[in-house]
Structure 1
Amino acid sequence: MTAQEPASSVLDEDPPRPPRWGFGAFLLVEAVLLASAAFVGVLLGDRPSGQPIPVRDVLIGTAAPTMTAAAVALLITRLRGNGPVADLRLAWRWADVRTGLKFGVLGLVLTSIGAYVWTQLVGDRNATSAISALVGDQKMSVSAAVAMFLYLWLLGPICEEVIYRGLLWGAVERLHWSNERVGRTAAFVLSTAVFAASHLEPLRTTLLIVISIPIGLARLVTGRLLGSVVAHQMNNFLPALAILLTSLGIATI
């Protein structure tokens, strides 16, 4: 403290309090995700065959459940902790962006290799993701296709990272491990496995684990959430672009 700095300013800068949330918060968020997905499924009902997928179905049926769950996760950090910046280590740093881009490129390579090998083993139809199956047999309106592209590329990864490598990672990391390195490694392993399983596509779980490893590594190396967000967005870009072109009838998956 300098002579010009008042003592009160130092006293006001208290360290963040230990967050009062853990695995229970993550389980609540997962329950919100599943419940909201089921609710919007009933709300939207069956779509008439032959009609293009409207933008409403993308915004409500695809994006709303994940966005709602992520919003609940952020609210929990506000009410039971120090907010997402401190609790989820969500802060902007260019170094994290660069690291995320590097791991994103690695993820694209691993995804391409993994998808090729997986397709050879199980066939094209069984290797198709749930979203690819949704748009594979019918076109979307232009606004719906663009909304789906932006969600898959940019918004979806942010929401999923808040839930899995933010909330879940933080809950695991704060357990009483022998040292911090063991805690970080456990958080990496568990969040990678749960992220893959949470997509509810049992046949593709192994492939999803391969895809999520570079994303988790970006979180592990940087120690913050932005790196994994950027890596996730980078990894999703080409699949999102492929779905955009397919849904508009420009290309086929």
Structure 2
Amino acid sequence: MPGVEQSTSGTQTVTAQPAHRWGFGAFLFVEAVLLASAALVGALLVRGGNAESLPVRDVLIGTMTPTVIAALTALAITKLRGNGPLADLRLSWRWDDVKLGLKFGVLGLVCTSVGVFVWTKVVGEENSNSAISALVEDKPMSVSAAVVMFLYLWLLGPICEEIIYRGLLWGATERLEWNKEKWGRFAAFLLSTAVFAMSHLEPLRTTLLLVIAVPIGLARLVTGRLLGSIVAHQMNNFLPALAILLTALGVVSY
């Protein structure tokens, strides 16, 4: 975001902020923080048992903690090595971005619904669930835990993931000199979409995750800012998060 200086004549002069000093090293560091914290939290929670036997409370902790820590690390990097998250990650509030994000989110819901239907037919229903759905399936869950999981999957999780992938990784890709001249934001869109899908560490679902990621990345590409992709991601996650909530409350069953 540009700064504003007051001249002696009383007019305002807009000055561009310097480019951020972080790049792929910052993204790789955040990914390392994500993986290391996930491994540490997982080891502390499992303690000789197995992930399938974890209570829902521990599943929540193991799911939320690493992603939140990694996103906070990304924000800290933009503050320490750049101009802060608002400028470096193109994170600003605009109703136009919200509206466009909702449109791409609806597109994402359609793509996801079709993708899940086809994917279930290909791999079978028993192999089509996400990792977190498999961990909470057939487990007793309190109302408070169900609401926390719903809010995380719908709202907080997408914010954290967008900061990491279509914020930090996108900004690192755009910073490359060759990329500025030849590919620009399109290269950032392609790379962030692919890395986002692979970073979930669910090889069987990577193709489906690519389908899910495309509309979210398009929201970032079209608006040029992060809010659009955050809203699109939240919109895309709403129905799966709601399904887990309703299942936990006994309203519907798997």
- Whether TM exceeds 0.5 here: the answer is yes
Summarize the alignment of residues 28-107 of structure 1 with structure 2, pairs less than 5 Å apart: 28-45=29-46, 46=49, 53-54=56-57, 57-58=59-60, 60-107=61-108
Structure 1 runs of 4+ with >6 Å offset = 47-51
Counterpart in the other structure of 1:118: 119
Summarize the alignment of residues 69-218 of structure 1 with structure 2, pairs less than 5 Å apart: 69-177=70-178, 179=180, 182-218=183-219
Q: Match for 1:224: what amino acid? A: R
CA distance in 2, matches of 1:247, 1:47: 22
Aligned mate of 1:6, from 8, 27, 37: 8
CA distance in 2, matches of 1:178, 1:50: 47
Single out whichever of 88-97 and 45-54 deviates more from structure 2. Answer: 45-54
CA contact (8 A) 2:105 2:235 kept: yes
TM-superposition CA deviations, 1:71-100 (whole Å, max 9, x none): 000000000000011100000000000000
Tell me, which stretches of 5 or more residues in structure 1 are unaligned? none
CA contact (8 A) 1:139 1:248 kept: no
Give 1:246 deviation, angstroms: 1.6
1:225 aligns with 2:216: no
CA distance in 2, matches of 1:218, 1:49: 36
Give 1:137 deviation, angstroms: 2.3
Give 1:183 deviation, angstroms: 1.6
Summarize the alignment of residues 228-247 of structure 1 with structure 2, pairs less than 5 Å apart: 228-247=229-248
1:22 aligns with 2:23: yes
CA contact (8 A) 2:173 2:179 kept: no
Residue aligned with 1:82, SS: coil
Q: Match for 1:156: what amino acid? A: G
Q: Match for 2:90: what amino acid? A: R
Question: CA separation of 1:128/1:15 partners in 2, compared to 1, >3 Å: closer, same or farther?
Answer: same
* Aligned CA-pair RMSD: 2.2
Give 1:250 deviation, angstroms: 2.5
Residue aligned with 2:21, SS: coil
Give 1:42 deviation, angstroms: 1.6
Question: CA separation of 1:19/1:200 partners in 2, compared to 1, >3 Å: closer, same or farther?
Answer: same
Residue aligned with 1:89, SS: coil
Give 1:112 deviation, angstroms: 0.2
Residue aligned with 1:140, SS: coil
Provide the aligned length of Structure 1 versus Structure 2: 247
1:249 aligns with 2:239: no
CA distance in 1, matches of 2:188, 2:175: 9
CA distance in 2, matches of 1:94, 1:177: 33
CA contact (8 A) 1:149 1:240 kept: yes
